[in-house]
Amino acid sequence: MAFRAAVITFPGSNCDRDMAVAIEQVSGIAPHRVWHGDAELPEGLDFIALPGGFSYGDYLRSGAMAARSPIMQAVVRAAECGVAVLGVCNGFQVLTEAGLLPGALMRNAGIRFVCREVPLVVENNQSLFTAGYAADQRIVIPVAHHDGNYFADAATLDRIEGEGRVAFRYAEPVNGSARDIAGILNEAGNVLGMMPHPERMIEAAQGGIDGRALFEGAVRALVGA
């Protein structure tokens, strides 16, 4: 069955093409490209990706303006109907600002922009996004962000940990994130936000393929290919 995906582009997105290429390489089908000002998504989507970048120049707060753009209302409705939504880096910031994921991404604890490959641990390999990995598998994925310091109050952190909603954790300190959280799932498990960039580890020429299993797992889970 065809994998119907869409990549949203906001003004200032800069990883949207990488995301589209990753989806096409893994699924064999080019995703729809959707502009932030569109009010509607294509029909029958299996997967929506919010890419990295600096939407609206990070004005006000990273992801704040994008979260209120016309297309995000459609993305929120789609997520509530169970469509898989992946937010990477700025996409993760947009998902928290839109209220689809708890918490917030704050300025890195060390103030500096962090741009390097980081080791991650796959904490939950039961989700549709992470089923392509082994439990507790260590993978290497690049990060490139200024605001990746995940914050939530202690009760929220306890709840998402208790519910197995931490998808990825940093294997070493990167940005001051609470409990080294690198990626989290929503309650239903169909929304994943993560700061590392899996779309940048799809083919060997990029230095590794540890991001590929995320897309392969999602395609398998969603269309059984």
Q: What angle do CA 88, 94, 98 make, to 5 degrees?
A: 135
Query: Choosing from 36, 89, 97, 123, which is the catalytic residue?
Result: 89
Nearest to 29 by CA among 50, 3, 49: 3
Q: Is 111 in the site for another protein (CB under 8 A)?
A: yes
Pair 140, 201: CB distance under 8 Å: yes
H or E segment at 6? strand 5-9
Rounded to a whole number of angstroms, the CA Rg of the chain reads 16
Q: Which stretch binds another protein (CB under 8 A): 12-20, 24-32, 60-68, 116-124?
A: 60-68
Residue 40: active-site member: no
Q: Is 176 in the site for another protein (CB under 8 A)?
A: yes
Pair 186, 101: CB distance under 8 Å: yes
Nearer to another protein, 35 or 59 (CB): 59
Helix axes 16-27, 212-223, angle to 10 degrees: 60
Letters for 66-95 (x = contact with another protein by CB under 8 A, - = none) are --x---------------------------
- Which of 29, 32, 117, 151 is the binder for another protein (CB under 8 A)? 151
- Which of 104, 114, 171, 225 is the binder for another protein (CB under 8 A)? 104
Letters for 117-146 (x = contact with another protein by CB under 8 A, - = none) are ------------------------------
Residues with active-site annotation: 89, 197, 199
